[in-house]
Structure formats: structure tokens, C-alpha cells
Structure 1
Amino acid sequence: MDKFNTLLEAAQLAATRCGSWSFATSDDRYDVKGLLVLAETSDSETPIDEDSFYVVSRAGAIGLCEDGEDIDWLFLTGSSEDEDLPATYQVDPQINFCPKCGSGVVSGARFCGKCGNRL
């Protein structure tokens, strides 16, 4: 899941993954343009706390994480119903060394650069 400091940044990524959203607590629907305008307005009028952040799911749903853990899903996609949206935000563990050969690995790498082992 991707993490952002502003709703506009989250909406910009979500727009590459989906074309329409519904607000989680109402029947309000948004297309890409409407979501981007709403996000920009929201960021300028009511910015989030410094400890809070937005997350975007693989399908383009947008959530707000105010306490660093619990996610309040704000904008849902048509495929969000099929997507298993998590209730909490968890950081993926970082692998610093290859478990097979012990070489240092590049952050976020999927394979060891030395031996090719899948990380």
C-alpha cells in the first residue's frame, strides 16, 4: 500500500488505478476530475495532522490513517468490494541482507543482486 502526506498526492496515484469512486459514508460519486478538485480543496482547507497520512490500495481506494495504524477508508472503487481492504496499516519488513548468501541487498529489491535468490 502506498502512503502520502496529502489527499491530492493520494488522489493522483489513485487516478492511475481507477476512474471513479464513491464516498465511503454516502452515495456521493466522483470521477477523476472531481476527486482531484475535492482533494486539492480538502488539503488547503483542512490539512491533516503531521502524524496522519493517506494510503492508496492496489485498486485505487483511498484511506486516512490518523493514528499510524487504523485506516478509515474514505473513497472506495467499484472493485473495492472485491479487494480485501485492511483495517490497519502495517509497514512491510525491510530485508537488508540476502538470507541465502548474506550479501547486502538494495532496499525494495525482489531478488539478491549477487546470487539471484528471491527475497
Structure 2
Amino acid sequence: MKPFNSLREAAEYAVTLSDGWHFANTSETYEKESLLPLAQTSDEEDPIDEDNFYLVSSGGSIGLCEDAEDIDWLFIANAEKDTVLPDVYSASTDNCFCSQCGHRLAPGANFCDECGAKLN
């Protein structure tokens, strides 16, 4: 999972991974064209606290991580609608995903299978 300081930044990354989302607790749906303006407006009207950040899953779902621990999933990517997403964020979880494209990494990998990025 990749962390971001604003919903707009998270949405800009998420649109590279998915082409549609639904709001976590409703049937409201969003496409690329509607997600980005919504994210911008949200950042302007209700910025997150300093200790919080947004996360984007490898499939493009967007969650709010409060107090660097609990994840409240806001937008679920269409491809992940039946996926169980984590409820808690752990910094060690970052090592399981490529920092360039967010793809899940194989244990002990030196390069990302998806984008070819060299891993640290």
C-alpha cells in the first residue's frame, strides 16, 4: 500500500490502477472523471489531520489511515469489490508492495514483477 498526504494525490495514483470505484458504505459509484474533482473538493473543505494519511491498495482502493494505524476504506476499486482489505496499517506492510506501482511483491524479490522497478 502506498501512503499519500492528500486525497487528491491518492486519487491521482488510484486512477492509474483502476477505472471505477464505489463508495465504501453506499452504492454510489465513481469513474476517473468524477473521482479527481471530488478528491480535490474534499481536501479543500476538510483536510486531514497531521497524523493521518491516505492509502492506495495495489488494486486502486483508497482508505484513510487514522493515527497511522486503523484504515477506514473510502473508495473500493471495482476490481477489489470482493477483496478483503486490511483494517490496520503496518509500516512493515509497505515492504510487501512495490513503491513505484503498488503491486504486491513476492517474498524476497529484488525487482517488481509488474513494473520491473528495482527494490531496496
Q: TM-score range by the shorter chain?
A: 0.7 to 0.9
Distance 1:47 1:41 in 2: 10
Q: 1:35 maps to which residue? A: 35
Does residue 23 of structure 2 align to residue 23 of structure 1? yes
Aligned residue type for 2:63: G
The percent of aligned pairs where both chains have the same amino acid is 51
TM-score, scaled to structure 1: 0.76
Residues 59 and 83 in structure 1, CA contact (< 8 A), matched pair in contact too: no
Q: Is the 8 A contact 1:55 1:63 kept in 2?
A: yes
- For 1:72, the equivalent position in structure 2 comes to 72
Q: Separation in 2 of the partners of 1:23 and 1:37?
A: 15
After superposition, the CA RMSD in angstroms is 2.4
Structure index of larger Rg: 1
Q: Identify unmatched segments of 5+ residues in structure 2.
A: 96-108, 112-119
Query: How far did 1:91 drift?
Result: 0.8
SS at match of 1:68: coil
Counterpart of 2:8, as a letter, is L
Instruction: Indicate the residue corresponding to 1:12 in structure 2.
Output: 12
- Alignment partners' CA distance in 2, 1:18 and 1:93: 21
The equivalent residue for 1:106 is none
Instruction: Tell me how far 1:70 sits from its aligned partner.
Output: 0.6
Q: Residue 55 of structure 1 aligns with which residue? A: 55
Relative to structure 1, the CA distance from residue 93 to residue 37 in structure 2 (aligned partners, 3 Å threshold; closer, same or farther) is closer
**Structure-2 change in CA distance of 1:32 and 1:91 (3 Å):** same
- Residue deviations 1:46-70, cap 9 Å, x none? 0000000000000000000112111
Q: Could you say which structure has the greater relative contact order, defined with CA pairs below 8 angstroms and 6 or more residues apart? A: 2
What letter corresponds to residue 24 of structure 2 in structure 1? A
Distance 1:20 1:110 in 2: 31
Name the aligned partner's letter for residue 6 of structure 2. T
- The CA distance in 1 between the partners of 2:64 and 2:46, in whole Å, is 13
Listed as ranges, the gaps of 5+ residues in structure 1 are 96-108, 112-118
Task: Output the CA distance in 2 between the equivalents of 1:70 and 1:8.
Answer: 20
How far apart are residue 39 of structure 1 and its match?
A: 0.2
In the alignment, what sits opposite 2:114?
none
Determine helix, strand or coil for the equivalent of 2:51: coil
